[in-house]
Structure 1
């Protein structure tokens, strides 16, 4: 009986620590979200890496994105040779290699739509939070928060968000899939409230005279 009581006490203490850590983790994520929402705009240079040992896949790409505040959702994204512009109403996908442009309406009710602003705030719901490792990366202290999807249908096993506790900025996001795929988005440069032209989030059709335009809506 004494042994059972000892085990029960250990379990209760462990649960208490875990609960505290979860609140601590959620608190840091809330700070990150509030900080992101406070900026007029955000400009990010990033590196994207995809690794799947089973399929022998290793890919790396670089890109950049400008976001006009998280609330407006407007963005200008350049990634893997493709430019995507969202002006608040429509999404313009420009593919120079094919000289083709696709134009579609943005469905704000589509919860599965992936946008740059969602990438910075996706962690606000749908996950369990765990306080993870504090690592020293290139002289910076990076605190990791582990996100575990609540839905069993989610193909992601877990997500690790690396956060600079000093700036409350995201350093990287690591997604680990149930199939062993690991994707890492690392922020190389994070600038805020920069002077941008008023047309930075506007598509100008006259710039692409020889492109085929596919109007999807």
Structure 2
């Protein structure tokens, strides 16, 4: 499960620029999502991570939570014993099983889809996208957007995003990786007016007795 939480260790905020080759209808939907997300002071979200193989067989399900405030974030996935903290300058990745924390710098060149990108910022100039239309999922009307990376070196070849049409927020993201596996992130709850202190996003060594620190900055 370590690879799952590593997905969230990349940079979070990026300026969104859209290719003229993309579907204008999809762009309108994504612009709405971006505007809504940027209106939030801080965000607390709960999500479900579902792993499937290429045939749709369920491989595992995990619950997770995320807190976001500007360029700062904190992410954890239940059952993995791992957490990621980022104060905008440093990233701490904690592994409970080893009682070890690794410190790195945010990497804007990373190719994985981060938690903040999951909500708003991963449909940038590196993707072609189109609107596939409306559908109803769990009594919600959602709009499906199909996204294809222009960089063939990315570890995934297709991403399907479902946008809650009324709320203008991401409902789920389905990522098809090149190994044939599928990861589906579904947002279960989202609070856009959360009151989050800045120290929430900093790893406090004193709360993890005996932790080994690996500083890779």
**Superposition TM-score, scaled by structure 2 size:** 0.80
Partner Cα distance (1:137, 1:178) in 2? 26
2:63 paired with 1:74: no
Structure with bigger RCO (C-alpha 8 Å, 6+ apart): 2
CA RMSD of aligned residues (A): 2.4
Structure 1, unpaired ranges of 5+: 1-18
- Residue 176 (structure 1) shift: 2.1
> 1:146 Cα shift?
0.9
The runs of 4+ residues in structure 1 deviating greater than 6 Å are 54-57
1:56 is displaced (CA, Å) by: 6.9
2:204 equivalent to 1:200: no
Question: In the alignment, does 2:57 pair up with 1:59?
Answer: no
Count of aligned pairs: 195
Distance in 1 (alpha carbons) for counterparts of 2:35 and 2:173 = 18
Shift of 1:201: 1.3
More helix per residue: 1
Aligned to 2:140: 140
Question: Partner of 1:160 in structure 2?
Answer: 160
Pairing 1:27–2:20 present: no
Q: Which residue of 1 aligns with 2:170?
A: 170
Structure 1: how far apart are the matches of 2:113 and 2:45? Answer: 17
Mark the structure with the bigger radius of gyration. 1
2:6 paired residue number: none
Conserved in 1, the CA contact under 8 Å of 2:103 and 2:215?
A: yes
Q: Which region of structure 1 is more displaced relative to structure 2, 154-163 or 164-173?
A: 154-163
Q: How does 1:178-193 map to 2 (within 5 A)?
A: 178-193=178-193
Structure 1: how far apart are the matches of 2:112 and 2:75? Answer: 15
C-alpha spacing 1:206/1:152, structure 2 compared with 1 (3 Å)? closer
Residue deviations 1:123-156 (CA, integer Å, cap 9, x gap): 1222222111422112111111111222333443
Residue 119 (structure 1) aligns with:
118
Deviation at 1:114, TM superposition (A): 4.7
List runs of 5+ in structure 2 lacking aligned partners: 1-19
CA distance in 2, matches of 1:148, 1:99: 38
What is the 5 A alignment of 1:29-44?
29-44=30-45
**Which stretch has the larger CA shift, 82-91 or 173-182?**
173-182
Residue of structure 1 in register with 2:4 after alignment: none
Secondary structure, counterpart of 2:167 in structure 1: coil
- Once residues 134 and 202 of structure 2 are traced to their aligned partners in structure 1, the CA distance between those partners, rounded to angstroms, is 41
